[in-house]
Amino acid sequence: MLKETVGRVHDLTYHPKERMDILRRMTVPEQSAIFEKLSPYVQQSILGHLRTGEVVNMLDHMDMHQAAHILSRIQNQKKRDQIILRLKGDIKEKVDFFLRFHPKATLALINFNYLFLPADHTVGDAAKVIEEHYAETGRYPELLLHENGKLIGEVPFSVMVKERNSSGLRKFVQSVATITYQANVEEIVSVLTATGSKKIVVLDHDTSVLGIIYADTAKTLFGDMPAESLYDFTGVDDSERPFDSVYRKVRNRYKWLILNLATSFLAGSVILSFQKTLDAVTILSVYIPIVAGMGGNSASQAFAVTLRGITLGIVRLETALPVLRKEALAGLINGLIIGSIVAFISSVWNGNPLLGLVVGCTLVFSHVIAPVTGTFLPLILKYFGKDPAATSSIFITTVTDVCGLIFLFGFATLVLL
C-alpha cells in the first residue's frame, strides 16, 4: 500500500501534463489522502485546475485543520469564498438532518475537534500537527487514522505521551464505533449500549468523517434507553432470542401472561355486574370488542408518543399537564369523529337511534380516557422509579377496557332500560 502511495505521489509530481487525469481516476478518499502528501507547489497547481465541486468533495474528506490550510492556498478569492460557502452549507445540511430526531438537539452534540491523519504517520509527525492545532484552537484533538482516505480507527492520546517519536501510529490503532449521519436515535443508542463506546464517529454517506458524538453527551440528551426496553414493552425477557428453546420462551413469558390474565378478570367482573343490562339488551355484546379495541388503540398511540418523550427527556410528570390537556382534547375530537360514524352505523343497522347514541357517547368518553391514561401511567411509573416500558401496557389495557365497559353498560342502563 505504501509503495502504491509513493508511486502515485511520484506520478502526480513528475508528470504535470497527465496530472489531472491521474488524480481524477482516483476515488475521492484516495484523492484527499494523496493530496496532503504532495508538495505545496504541486498542490497549488492542482487547486488551480480543480472545479469548485471537486475541491469541496476532496476537502470534505479532510479534518477542518487540514481543510483550512488547503483553502489558504487558493489564490482566487471568489473561488475560495464559493468553496467555503459550499462546505458550510453541505456540513450544516447533513448535521441538521442528523439532529432531526430531537427538538433539543443542537450543533453542540457533534464535536468537530479531531484530526484525520494517515496511518503511516509516526508519533512525531502527529505531535507536530497536534501542536499546530492546539496553537490555533487551544484544545487537544481526537486522533482518527485513515488508510487511503478511509477511516480505520483511532489512536488514544496517551500514545503520544508514552511512545517514541519514531513509532508508527498504525500499530496503536484501536477500533472506533461509527454510524452514518442518516442514522436515527435508536441506532445511536443501540451502538452506545452494544459496544460500550465512549464516542461514536459520524460518517458521511461517502465514508468521510462528519464529526464525533461523545456517549456522555448523547446519554444526557436521550436519557437511558437500553435495548432491553423493546423486549420489556411486550413482556419478553431481554435475554430471549428467536431461536431459544420452547422451555426458555415459556419461562420468560408466563409471569406476564398471568398478570395480564388477572387484569382481564377485572374487565370480566364489570360485564358480570351489568348482567341484567346485557340480558335485556343482548345486542350490546356486539359492541364490547369495538369499544375495547378502539380504546386500546387510542391509548397505545398516546403511550408510544409519551414513551418516546420520556426516553428523549422532553416530558416528565412535573411538566405533563399541557401534554395531558392536549391528549384529552385530541381524544375528544377523535372520539366525536369515531363515535359519530359508529352511532350512524348502529342506528341504521339496528334500527334503534338510542342504541346508536349509547355506543357513540361511549366511544367519545373512551377516546378521552384512553390517551390520558396512555400518557399519565408511564409518567407516574417513571416518577416512582419504575420502567414505564415494562408494565405500562398491561395496566393501560386494563384501565381502558374497564372504563369503556362501564361507559357502555352505564349509558345503556340509563338510556335503554
Rg (CA), the chain: 31
Q: Which domain covers residue 86, as residue numbers?
A: 2-99
pLDDT at res. 386: 67
Q: Do 412 and 285 share a structural domain?
A: yes
Query: Are the C-beta atoms of 280 and 417 separated by less than 8 Å?
Result: yes
pLDDT at res. 69: 76
pLDDT tens digits, one per residue of 93-136 = 655 555 554 444 555 567 788 888 888 888 888 888 888 888 88
Q: What DSSP designation does 168 have?
A: B
Average pLDDT over residues 280-305: 81
> For residue 262, is it within any domain?
yes
pTM above 0.75, yes or no: no
**Residue 99's CB: how many other CB atoms inside 10 A?**
18
Compute the distance between CA of residue 252 and CA of residue 261 in angstroms, rounded to an integer.
Answer: 16
Q: Do 147 and 55 share a structural domain?
A: no
Indicate the residue among 222, 253, 268 that finishes a domain.
222
Q: Do 214 and 82 share a structural domain?
A: no
> For residue 227, is it within any domain?
no
Q: Do 307 and 333 share a structural domain?
A: yes
Average pLDDT over residues 410-417: 81
Query: Are the C-beta atoms of 302 and 326 separated by less than 8 Å?
Result: no
pLDDT tens digits, one per residue of 212-257 = 888 777 666 655 444 444 344 444 444 445 555 677 667 766 676 6
Compute the distance between CA of residue 93 and CA of residue 103 in angstroms, rounded to an integer.
Answer: 16
Query: Are the C-beta atoms of 211 and 199 separated by less than 8 Å?
Result: no
**Residue 116's CB: how many other CB atoms inside 10 A?**
24
Indicate the residue among 222, 242, 264 that finishes a domain.
222
Helix (H, G, I), strand (E, B) or coil at 177: strand
Q: Do 261 and 214 share a structural domain?
A: no
Q: Do 266 and 179 share a structural domain?
A: no
pLDDT at res. 332: 92
**The total number of structural domains that make up the chain:** 3
Helix (H, G, I), strand (E, B) or coil at 119: coil
Q: Is the pLDDT of residue 14 over 70?
A: yes
Query: Are the C-beta atoms of 342 and 360 separated by less than 8 Å?
Result: yes
Average pLDDT over residues 378-384: 80
Q: Do 69 and 114 share a structural domain?
A: no
As given in the structure block, the three cell numbers for residue 415 are 338510556
Per DSSP, the chain holds a count of helices (H) and strands (E) of 18, 6
pLDDT at res. 333: 92
Q: Do 174 and 126 share a structural domain?
A: yes
